Structure 1
């Protein structure tokens, strides 16, 4: 029996949302990997462009460090999150390490930021 329209729509939404989170994580991994990557996306992506709480808080910490002229590497972002009592809430150092290990290069961070900027307009349509 074929899936109903509602089920099909639901599964399509899940695919888009998962893709969106993967784009966010590629951006965050790039920021942790390359100290210059944050300068590429800081003016393009607001914090609210990130969907899961954990991604929002990691990006917010990276922006805070960037605006304070500090590095946005694994150690400084982890310390910033710890100082704000958010490290465990975002998934701990394991989450940050996963972002790094899934990211091969930060070279496409501008491309991902553009995709994320576009997808932020799609997100409310999908969720509502």
Structure 2
């Protein structure tokens, strides 16, 4: 009897890391600020963990006290407590998590496993479309594959940046403006050697995507 090994594969995830993140949030209300920019509801593998995280997020964003009691009350009031595992499971999450000190590291593990699952989904989709292109040529398929993979990478880049104080951002912006103002050379980026183009763009700037096209 042949066994479909692909069907037996379990998508990458860390149940322990997911539980540690949720337990840490129940132990320390301030821990929310450490994970809000690093992990989202969709990053959790288990449906009950996604539900618990969504409820935690709603309570945290309202500034409500967050612990096993308040979370269970909110879930019960929305008829979701059983779907989240019930009060015993919420209590277990808090009891089995020693502290929230390492919650950022746990959140990073959850996020990393989520990225791997997204890559698996995209890879499966790319393979399926390659087997059944439905009139699309290879260039179209490659463009779509690149777009999907880039979207995963871009989401990861945004989360890695995290929240930054406005004071720090303004300081960097002012320093950058002062530096550019003091320059004698109008080309602030990387020159291309095409004078007209460099005058229009001041050179290639970090983070810019420039597409040059012409009529056929």
TM-score (normalised: structure 1): 0.82
Where in structure 1 do 4 or more consecutive aligned residues deviate above 4 Å?
125-128
Structure 1 residue 123: deviation in Å?
2.3
Tell me by how many angstroms 1:10 deviates: 4.5
Structure 2: distance between partners of 1:10 and 1:124: 18
- Aligned ranges 1:12-27 → 2 under 5 Å: 13=10, 16-17=12-13, 20-27=14-21
Over the aligned positions, Cα root-mean-square deviation in angstroms equals 2.2
The secondary structure found in structure 2 opposite 1:71 is coil
Report Cα offsets for 1:92-111 as digits up to 9, x if no partner: 10110110111001100011
Aligned to 1:94: 88
Q: 1:118 aligns with which of 109, 112, 126?
A: 112
Structure 2 counterpart of 1:81, from 36, 53, 75: 75
Aligned to 2:45: 51
User: 1:63-122, CA deviations, whole angstroms, 9 ceiling, x for partnerless residues?
Assistant: 000110112211111111111110011111011011011100110001111111111111
Runs of 5+ consecutive residues of structure 2 not aligned to the other structure: 125-216
Q: Does the CA contact (< 8 Å) of 1:38 and 1:72 recur in 2?
A: no
- Largest Rg, 1 or 2: 2
Q: Which structure has more helix as a fraction of its residues?
A: 1
5+ residue gaps, structure 1, are none
